[in-house]
Amino acid sequence: MFIDLLSFHPVVLALLATGFTWFCTAFGAGFVFFFRTVPRPVFNAMLGFASGIMIAASFWSLLLPSIELSENVGQPAWFHVSLGFLSGGLSLFALHKLLPHLHVGLEENRLEGGKSSFQRSLLLILAITLHNIPEGLAVGVAFGALGDGFTYEALMAAVVVAFGIGIQNIPEGAAVSIPLLREGYSAKKSFWYGQLSGFVEPIGGLLGAALVFYVASILPFALSFAAGAMIFVVVEELIPESHTGKETEMSTLGAMFGFVLMMALDVGLG
């Protein structure tokens, strides 16, 4: 299996991997055919779980390799990694200010971004789509890094990133489709728009993989950039939305288990 994968171009592998993460989003969106609502403790745990996976992936799969790569070529790791991390976070900050979107997990359904006459349902889709941009970029950068050393170990590290992002995309897909059902959409339309929110991941994956593959010198910066973008999403969106209602302990436990799962995958297989 892995011999066959090693024969593929890294950019093609990135497309396949982000196709998998998109499928996971669609799988989560498919919950709408079985559930009309998600109990608040379960919803909080799902979002917390996604947060834990993204935090662990940001460090073990992105920041740590970025530091090691910078040190191996004699670069000041603290500077390049810090610059990339802040650039990723500030880029997502700018998108959040420009694009209107809805924080559906919050009790007041807070509207953020630029002024808009869009329907609530479209604002909801835009919110989850914003989540998926850095996730696709992270997977793409991980596979694009194979151009710097196409080995079994490097391949497994990239596969772990894609697998972890895919797992946490399942609750995100459900977080779009089920609220759309409550907005009056049919189950089929809710599923369609839920899976569509993950479409940006293959796009981000292709861009990230191609960029670091053909311009290998920016790899440390690209890895930390993706990490910063994901951490911004976690702190700005997922954690606040997971701490609603009275069952906030479930979000904390979910985050702990998500972090441990991603860390175990990365350390054990990466």
* CA dist., res. 48 & res. 184, Å (int): 27
* Helical segments of the chain, H only: 2-6, 10-29, 40-56, 64-72, 77-98, 120-144, 152-182, 187-196, 200-214, 219-233, 239-242, 248-269
Can you say how many angstroms the Cα of residue 47 is from the centroid of all Cα atoms in its chain? Answer: 12
> In terms of C-beta density within 10 A (0-12 exposed, 13-18 middle, 19 or more buried), how is residue 246 classed?
exposed
**pTM of whole model > 0.75?**
yes
74: left (phi over 0), alpha (psi -120 to 50) or beta: left
State the pLDDT at residue 27. Answer: 96
State the pLDDT at residue 75. Answer: 73
State the pLDDT at residue 119. Answer: 57
State the pLDDT at residue 132. Answer: 82
State the pLDDT at residue 117. Answer: 46
State the pLDDT at residue 96. Answer: 78
Strand partners, 112: 101
Helix axis angle for 219-233 and 40-56, nearest 10°, is 160
State the pLDDT at residue 239. Answer: 86
- Phi/psi for 101 (5° steps) reads -160, 165
- Phi/psi for 246 (5° steps) reads -105, -5
State the pLDDT at residue 258. Answer: 92
Instruction: Return the structure tokens found at 151.
Output: 């080995």
State the pLDDT at residue 191. Answer: 93
**pLDDT single digits (tens) 241-270:** 888 777 678 899 999 999 999 999 888 775
State the pLDDT at residue 2. Answer: 45
- Phi/psi for 73 (5° steps) reads -100, 10
Q: Please name which of 230, 210, 208, 231 lies closest in space to residue 137, comparing C-alpha atoms.
A: 208
Q: What 8-state DSSP symbol labels residue 73?
A: T
pLDDT tens string, the chain, 270 residues long: the values are 445 666 778 889 999 999 999 999 999 999 999 988 878 888 888 889 989 999 998 998 889 888 988 887 677 888 889 999 999 999 988 887 777 656 555 444 555 555 554 455 666 667 667 778 888 988 998 898 887 666 777 788 888 899 989 998 898 888 788 878 877 888 998 899 889 888 889 999 998 898 888 877 788 888 899 999 999 989 988 888 888 777 678 899 999 999 999 999 888 775
